[in-house]
């Protein structure tokens, strides 16, 4: 067991402990002298406007993307929950973005959403040129564009999980409901939706965690711009730690992110588990 635990200890536990320790220092990679500053880094966080803005952006993106991917994922799963080659092909197509690199996906969408990109070209050719704009360059549309891209890529995961959960529900339950005169809506409300709770727990928690760590999409699509309006907490951590060389301060941000993700994960799992039913 020890050889199997060694990589985990080296690449997970040790960096975690080091990051926690560095959060109490003024570590700067460019200078060898490091001083212990106690809780000063944590005291500075509430006064840091960039940090607060990145937290707000992260929360907004996480909530909206999690809601969209789960609602749309469930809808698509219900539509594709049928046998046939066409449905099997569509399932595969929906899952393809999930297996692609976030960098590749972001690069593709940057081609679509730039000032002279595919979307604006289509709008102009359709006589809707007044709607064309630099989607990634305006504060009012940049954050929404990132949420669109993240939702598009994460949707396939939710579709697959909901499909697997739907196919695990015994057909006898629906047959009994039909015999009792239950229509499709009543079957969905009283059978399908309650029994989707285990799959919903997985998709909600994992999607929320994934979006809280969002970095690649922001770095490729907007680099945090315009004027920092799309910076997420993970992006801000990297920027402060590797661009401003304030590794101690960025470690404090990382600890906050770790604690927030842990608390939200436990709370969501506990809340959603209460909805789970058995048959």
The confidence score (pLDDT) of residue 8 equals: 67
Average pLDDT per 10 consecutive residues for the chain, totaling 279 residues: 70 84 88 86 93 95 95 94 88 90 94 91 89 90 95 94 90 82 83 86 91 93 90 94 90 93 89 69
What CATH number is given to the structural domain containing 137? Answer: 1.10.3720.10
Overall number of domains in the chain: 1
Is 279 within the bounds of a domain?
A: no
Within a domain: 239: yes
Number of residues in the chain: 279
123, exposed or middle or buried, with CB in 10 Å at 0-12, 13-18, 19+? middle
pLDDT at 164: 92
**pTM, to two decimals:** 0.89
Q: CB atoms < 10 A from the CB of 136, how many?
A: 24
Q: Which residue has the tokens 């999607």?
A: 207
Q: What confidence score (pLDDT) does residue 1 get?
A: 55
Contact 44, 250 (CB under 8 A): no
The pLDDT, as a whole number, for residue 225 is 86
In 3D, which of 191, 196, 198, 194 has the Cα closest to residue 173? 191
Residue 149: per-residue pLDDT: 96
Helix (H, G, I), strand (E, B) or coil at 115: coil
245/114 Cα distance (integer angstroms) = 31
Handedness of CA 10, 11, 16, 19 (dihedral sign): positive
Using H for helix, E for strand and C for coil, what is the string for 58-89? HHHHHHHHHHHHHHHHHHHHHHHCCCCHHHHH
Phi, psi for residue 227 in degrees, rounded to 5: 55, 35
Q: Supply the range of the domain harboring residue 208.
A: 46-273
d(CA 102, CA 6): 29
Please report whether residue 20 resides in a domain: no
Q: Is residue 21 part of a domain?
A: no
pLDDT at 278: 59
Residue 212 near residue 233 (C-beta atoms within 8 A):
yes
Give the closest residue to 201 by CA, choosing from 124, 273, 114.
273
Residue with tokens 């996906």: 105
What's the confidence (pLDDT) of residue 277? 61
Is residue 112 assigned to a domain?
yes
Q: Residue 142 falls within a domain, yes or no?
A: yes
Helices and strands per DSSP (H, E), number in the chain: 15, 0
Q: Are 196 and 74 in contact (CB under 8 A)?
A: yes
Distance CA 256, CA 20 (A): 10
Read off the tokens for 277: 């039913």
User: Does some domain include residue 98?
Assistant: yes
**What's the confidence (pLDDT) of residue 249?**
92
- Residue 213: inside a domain, yes or no? yes
Which among 91, 64, 75 has a CA at the least distance from the CA of 214?
A: 64
């Amino acid at each position: 067991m020890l050889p199997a635990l060694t990589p985990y200890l080296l690449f997970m536990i040790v960096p975690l402990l080091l990051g926690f320790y560095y959060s109490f220092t003024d570590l700067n990679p460019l200078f060898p002298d490091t001083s212990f500053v106690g809780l000063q880094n944590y005291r500075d966080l509430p006064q840091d406007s960039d940090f607060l803005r990145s937290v707000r952006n992260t929360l907004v993106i996480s909530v909206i993307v999690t809601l969209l991917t789960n609602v749309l994922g469930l809808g698509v799963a219900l539509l594709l929950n049928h046998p046939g080659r066409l449905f099997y092909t569509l399932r595969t197509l929906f899952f393809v973005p999930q297996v692609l690199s976030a960098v590749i996906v972001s690069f593709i969408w940057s081609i679509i959403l730039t000032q002279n990109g595919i979307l604006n070209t289509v709008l102009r050719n359709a006589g809707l040129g007044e709607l064309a704009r630099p989607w990634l360059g305006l504060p009012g549309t940049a954050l929404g564009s990132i949420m669109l891209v993240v939702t598009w890529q994460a949707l396939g995961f939710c579709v697959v999980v909901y499909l697997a959960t739907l196919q695990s529900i015994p057909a006898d339950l629906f047959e009994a409901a039909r015999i009792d005169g239950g229509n499709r809506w009543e079957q969905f409300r009283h059978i399908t939706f309650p029994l989707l709770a285990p799959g919903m727990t997985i998709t909600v928690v994992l999607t929320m965690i994934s979006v809280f760590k969002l970095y690649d999409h922001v770095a490729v699509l907007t680099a945090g711009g315009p004027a920092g309006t799309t910076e997420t907490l993970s992006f801000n951590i990297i920027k402060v730690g590797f661009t401003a060389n304030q590794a101690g301060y960025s470690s404090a941000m990382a600890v906050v992110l770790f604690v927030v993700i842990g608390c939200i994960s436990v709370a969501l799992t506990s809340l959603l588990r209460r909805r789970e039913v058995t048959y």
